Amino acid sequence: MISLETARELMERSRTRATWLSRQTFWLLLLGIVLGGLLASPGWLSGSRFVQVLLPQFVLICIILWVYSRTQRQRRIAAMVSAAWGAIQLKDWTQAEAVITKLLRRPIQPVFVRAQSLMALAAVAENQKQYDVSQHILETVLQEPNADASVLYAARVALAGTLLRNSQLTDAVSMIDKLVRMELPPALRAQVELLNLFRLVLMGQTQEAVAGAEERRALFRRHLSTRAGYGYALLSAAFDRSGQTDRAAELWRDATLLIRPAEIVDRFGEVRSVAAKYPSTEWPL
Amino acid sequence: MSEQEVASLLRLFRWRMRFADAVRWLMVAALLAAFVLAGPMGAAALPNLAMLILSAVLVAGLVLVIGSVRAARAAHEGAILLSVGRREEAQETLVNVIKRLSVFRSTLLVACQQLGTLLRAQGNQTAARDVFRAVLKYSGGRFGGVPSFHTTARLMLADAELALGNLAGAYEAFQPVYGATLSVQDRLLLLPIELRYLLAAGHTAEAVANLRDKVRYAELMDAPRAAWVHMLLAEACRREGLERQAEFLCRRAALYHDVTELPASPTAGGPGSIEGVME
């Protein structure tokens, strides 16, 4: 379980100090100066012929090893980020938590890779229903000035969802309204619409949710792939509350054709009554 | 692009890759020579000669890297143009990258792989296959190989071979990938290719093995590809007499995407079968 303290510690540990000369750069610079000095004047450090022959080679090997270890570390980081997101996609949350907490124990560069890693940590925390932890992480990502634009958009969408879960409705509504008004790529627009629908269902604004149902359904189908099932489930809840039970039953059937009912209810507890009321699709797999 | 144009471009690509290799080894050799000459090993003039070699190598390296960075940016731009469907501009950009001098092997490989993807999308399967073969050849190897490219290139080559109806060629291309540890992204690439091959070769029992896992991976794809894989799995289930599963998978496929837009033949490339892989 990721607590707030753990998250804070991981965020602190993974941060790279923004100094003009890092410790590693200092050592590399020093080795470079020594190498240059040895090449320009072999007798600079020692009068021994043996040392004069071997020292430049030794310094060069040190530089090569340093560059090699840095490259290997970057590769390891990239592989771990990929593994963490792979585990998240496959909903292997234990593995995702293990990889991401290990990864964030050391400074991560470049900034966008750290932002991606923090997003993965936020996803794990959200799955554990640690919404305050997730909120704190996402707010940190949004404060990162050099993060990738796509990561920042994703962080905003995720934060708005987390605020809703944390019952910070005013902030959540204001954030969702801003996102709805923004010019976004269709895939992100579909995610924002899903979030907006969740807000409407959560706040009991069922008429508004039902009004744009067909457009929303088409948008979810086109861009959310399997996650469109969550959208159908929320639409089903909206139709159920507005008394259109046939439509609600049909949407619930579609929702549970894509995602198993238990998984939908686990993510959106608001549809629990719908799950109990309407028959779900049977999975013969 | 005509096949002659592709062939001539591939000749240039091979030359560029050899050039990038030669530059790399030349720099290593020059650096080693500089260090052998340095120090009190010979005449007094030798350290100066070493400094001269080192400086020349560094300056030449810097000039080449600056040019290569520009080429890398252009290759990235070409990939973006292709992913947003601006094919003509993408083709022009990618061809220019291959024609440019670059010492970054990965830049040339990206450009060539994207060009193959473009040719595949344009229906020029033979040329696409030739391009993927070239990428596969140069992305492997113990020294200077790019493993992530190598796996993707294998899968893309298998995809092109399947589109040409060459089952043996497709199997040969993707078979080594089976033994490798694949990322989720590569698994998502492999699954439709593997299913198309198994269906075309009549190995339907193998196609329905681990059905639940295969469906789990299909769920991670974008809607058209998820629908396509569901249809392939449904077809395999039907051939194996698993009617309930086939019906369930067909219903899911229809919910993901309009199934009338999907190809009828299993060997044909599905929606976005290889496009958008490299973004």
- Please name the fold of domain A183-285: 1.25.40
Q: Does A212 touch chain B (CB under 8 A)?
A: no
Return the pLDDT at B276: 35
Q: What are the Cα distances from residue B153, in Å, to A129, A235, B122, B131? A: 40, 42, 18, 10
Average pLDDT, chain A: 89
The superfamily CATH assigns to domain A1-182 is: Tetratricopeptide repeat domain (1.25.40.10)
Residue B277 has pLDDT above 60, yes or no: no
Tens of pLDDT, residue by residue over A4-57, are 999 999 999 998 876 666 777 788 788 888 877 776 777 777 777 777 777 777
What is residue B144's predicted lDDT score, i.e. its pLDDT? 57
pLDDT at site B272: 54
In this complex, the residue of B35, B184, B257 whose CB is nearest that of residue A86 is B184
Per-residue pLDDT reduced to its tens digit, A50-98: 777 777 778 878 888 888 888 888 889 999 999 999 999 999 999 999 9
How distant is the Cα of A222 from the closest Cα of chain B, in angstroms?
6
Distance from C-alpha of B232 to C-alpha of B270, rounded to nearest angstrom: 10
pLDDT at B274: 41
CA A19 – CA A26 distance, rounded (Å): 11
Who contacts B222 (Cβ-Cβ below 8 Å, separation ≥6)?
Answer: A225, B272
pLDDT the model gives residue B44: 52
- Give the pLDDT score at A19: 61
Are A225 and B51 inside 8 Å of each other by CB? Answer: no
* Contact (CB, 8 A) for A134 and A126: yes
Largest Cα–Cα distance in chain A?
95
Tell if the CB–CB gap between A39 and B47 is shorter than 8 Å: yes
**What secondary structure letter does DSSP report for A226?**
G
pLDDT, tens digit, 9 for 90 and up, residues B95-117:
999 988 888 888 899 899 899 98
Cα distances from B89 to residues A210, B44, B115, B121, B123, in angstroms, run 43, 57, 12, 14, 17
Tell me the average pLDDT across B2-15: 89
CB-closest option in B185, B216, B255 to A258: B255
- Tell me what pLDDT residue A205 has: 92
Q: What is the pLDDT of residues A202-223, one digit of tens each?
A: 999 999 999 989 999 999 999 9
Of B39, B226, B245, the CB nearest to A56: B39
Which tokens belong to B109? 């490989």
Greater pLDDT, B81 or A160: A160
Q: Nearest residue on chain A to B187, judged by CA atoms?
A: A86
The C-alpha of A42 sits at a distance from chain B's nearest C-alpha, in angstroms, of 5
**Cβ contact B54–A39 (<8 Å):** yes
Pick the more confident residue, A145 or A205: A205
Distance from CA of B134 to the nearest CA of A (A): 25
C-alpha–C-alpha distance, residues B59 and A26, integer Å: 23
- Structural domain boundaries of chain A? 1-182, 183-285
Q: Percent of chain A, pLDDT > 90? A: 66
Would the pLDDT of B279 be above 50?
no
ipTM: 0.84
Inter-chain Cβ pairs, chain A and chain B, closer than 8 A? 76
In the numeric block, the tokens 């698994």 are attached to B187
Q: Compare all CA atoms of chain A with the CA of B28 and give the residue at the minimum distance.
A: A64
The answer to whether domain A1-182 and domain A183-285 are alike in fold is yes
The answer, yes or no, to whether residue B43 has pLDDT greater than 70, is: no
- CB B141 within 8 Å of CB B18: no
Q: Count other Cβ atoms within 10 Å, centred on residue A204.
A: 11
Per the document, the length of chain A is 285
Determine the residue of chain A that is closest to B243 in CA distance: A284
Helix (H, G, I), strand (E, B) or coil at B104: coil
pLDDT digits (tens, 9 = 90+) for B139-156: 876 555 666 678 888 888
At residue B182, the pLDDT reads 84
> How high is the pLDDT of residue B267?
58
Confidence of residue A279 (pLDDT cuts 50, 70, 90): very high
| Among the ranges given (A55-64, A181-190, A252-261, B8-17), the one the predictor scored with the smallest mean pLDDT | A55-64
A18 touches chain B (CB under 8 A): no
The reply to whether residue B219 touches residue A225, judged by beta carbons under 8 angstroms, is yes
Answer yes or no: is pLDDT of B278 > 70.
no
Rounded to an integer, the average pLDDT of A166-175 is 92
Residue B219 tokens read as 């769920």
| Statement: residue B42 has pLDDT above 70 | no
Collect all residues of chain A within an 8 Å Cβ-Cβ radius of residue B219. Answer: 225-226, 258
Residues of chain B with a CB closer than 8 angstroms to some CB in chain A: 34-35, 38-41, 47, 50-51, 54, 183-185, 211-212, 215-216, 219-223, 226, 244-245, 248, 251-252, 255-257
* pLDDT for res A21: 64
Q: Most confidently modeled of B69-73, B196-200, B267-271?
A: B196-200
Instruction: Tell me the nearest-neighbour CA distance from A56 into chain B, angstroms.
Output: 7
Query: Both tokens of residue B200?
Result: 């075309």
**Count, residues in chain B:** 279
HSE-up (13 A, CA, CB side) for residue B241: 0
Residues of chain A with Cβ-Cβ distance to B144 below 8 Å are none
Both ends of chain A: CA-CA distance in Å? Answer: 31
Range in A247-251, B75-79, B141-145, B163-167 the model is least confident about: B141-145
pLDDT at B40 over 60: no
Mean pLDDT of B225-237: 95
